[in-house]
Chain A
Amino acid sequence: MTSSEETIRKIREGSIRTIARTLTMVENGTAGSQELLDGLFALQKGFTLGVTGPPGAGKSTLVNRMITRYRETDCSVGVIAVDPSSPFTGGALLGDRLRMQSHATDSGVFIRSMGSRGHLGGLSGATRDASCVLSAAGYSPVIIETVGVGQAEVEVAELADITLLVLVPGLGDDVQSMKAGIMEIGDIIVLNKADREGIDQLESYVNASLDLMPAQIDRPEVVRISAVTGEGLGSLWKAVDRLIEKQVAFDRVSLSAVKTLSGILEETGKRVSDMLLKMEYNGRGEAEQLILAGKISPYAIGKKLLERAERIFNSNECQ
């Protein structure tokens, strides 16, 4: 048995330490992680739920409720909670777990916090891979909580089977709900903090905005809840279950495979760029120095790399 097969066997057996270590590997892009993911990909089962929304909307509190709900039905639940990394130091305070610690000692729940590590879009670069690991380990659903988002961080919708957009009163007027981006990705729109002033207004803004949606797009359900008191959660679970049932009708494996490919292509692109930079400029550092010294523009570097790639490609074709 290769070490990769051995690791996969342990993950399937539910070894917490192995799963945790594997998550670290895929997060750091350690050698061997691609081979592991290749082996784990086909073993994925179950579904993924995305939870997104602005900072302080109550995402973690809602995720905590979701864990309880799925544990009642004996599902093992995986959670990936992403918080922002500092663009200056790379450090991060990962505090989502704080609201979920009541599940910490439940062996049917695996919670992992991740820093966004410079990745834009509301997730981290390795969230998809981490979800693959947890799913292959038998956790279903895998719940993915994004960083607190603004208007355009819509990546989670690509990754999750169903995305819950959590909104709260008091974050702006009706023009905010007319903007493109985040308002378009919720399969369900959750209006949290239903006990707060402004909830009626928020609901009417959201509904007015949905009224104008193109007819070919499925209109998302709007559900009022209070994640703290539990009010409205029954209706939310029903809405989620209805969508899950619909989704199962699709060929989910191939759908998720195609989605995964676009993520992989992006990563591959980065790696190829790095290789080309190494050939052309002895690495990224030197290219940056040239830009700083005013000797070349970033655009010219991009062009040179593409030309280099073309030359390599052409010379191979002639052989």
Chain B
Amino acid sequence: MDRKIRVLIGKPGLDGHDRGAKYIARALRDAGMEVVYTGIRQTPEAIADAAIQEDVDFVGISLLSGAHNHLFPEVARLLRNKNAGDIILFGGGVIPEEDIPGLKEAGYAAIFTPGTPASEVVEFIHLQMVKRP
């Protein structure tokens, strides 16, 4: 049987602007993936624990509040601590260009900024699936 790609999309932090997250969730669904949508105002712990129970291949988180330098690395750290460092992380939202290298270092395979076409995210996921051990 074919293996479905499973992705968790969630929003940590306090901003409620979930349009982007929902847009990406919908696009990944239309690309044939199973998307677990956990909604807004999630703690990093809730995102990490949900990702493990759902056994997803990817976690994509979106943030527009400016707290990404704290919350994004925290999700990555929790997943590693819980022995789930193999889950591939990507992020999106209003992220200044100069913050991206730091987030990549923290474990994010990609950061998508406003204006990114959804197809680019789909392509990224397919590419990562091929590269996976």
A, B from the same assembly: yes
A residues lining the B interface (CB < 8 Å): 16-17, 19-21, 23-24, 28-30, 85-86, 89-95, 97-98, 101, 104-105, 110-113, 115, 117
CA distance A93 to B84 in the complex (A): 23
15 further A-B contacts with Cβ under 8 Å, apart from A89-B31, A111-B54, are A17-B84, A19-B53, A20-B55, A91-B32, A93-B26, A93-B29, A98-B38, A101-B38, A101-B50, A104-B38, A104-B45, A104-B49, A110-B53, A111-B50, A113-B34
Which partner residue on chain B sits nearest A90 by CB separation? B32
**A–B Cβ pairs within 8 angstroms, 12 of them:** A16-B52, A17-B83, A17-B84, A24-B55, A90-B4, A91-B34, A98-B37, A101-B42, A101-B50, A104-B42, A104-B49, A105-B43
- Across the A-B interface, give the 9 residue pairs with the lowest CB-CB distance, nearest first: A104-B46, A20-B55, A91-B29, A89-B32, A98-B39, A29-B1, A91-B32, A24-B55, A94-B36
Pairwise interchain contact A111-B46, C-beta atoms closer than 8 A: no
B35 interface residue per 8 A CB criterion: yes
Pairwise interchain contact B25-A28, C-beta atoms closer than 8 A: no
**A260 CB, nearest partner CB in chain B, Å:** 20
Chain A residues positioned under 8 Å from B50 (CB to CB): 97, 101, 104, 111
Given A16-B52, A110-B53: A93 and B35 interface contact (C-beta under 8 Å) = yes
**B60 CB, nearest partner CB in chain A, Å:** 13
Tell which of B46, B83, B84 has the most Cβ of chain A within 10 Å.
B46
A-B pair number, CB within 8 angstroms: 90
Interface size class of chain B, counting residues whose CB lies under 8 Å from the partner chain: 20 to 34
Pairwise interchain contact B36-A113, C-beta atoms closer than 8 A: yes
B residues lining the A interface (CB < 8 Å): 1-4, 6, 25-26, 28-39, 42-43, 45-47, 49-50, 52-55, 82-84
Of the residues B28, B35, B54, B84, contact of A112 by C-beta under 8 Å: B54
CA distance A105 to B4 in the complex (A): 25
**B85 CB, nearest partner CB in chain A, Å:** 11
Of the residues A16, A93, A97, A113, contact of B25 by C-beta under 8 Å: A93
Which partner residue on chain B sits nearest A106 by CB separation? B49
CA distance A30 to B33 in the complex (A): 18
Chain B residues positioned under 8 Å from A86 (CB to CB): 29-30, 32
Pairwise interchain contact A95-B37, C-beta atoms closer than 8 A: yes
Pairwise interchain contact A20-B53, C-beta atoms closer than 8 A: yes
Chain B residues positioned under 8 Å from A90 (CB to CB): 4, 32
Tell which of B28, B32, B42 has the most Cβ of chain A within 10 Å.
B32
Pairwise interchain contact B30-A89, C-beta atoms closer than 8 A: yes
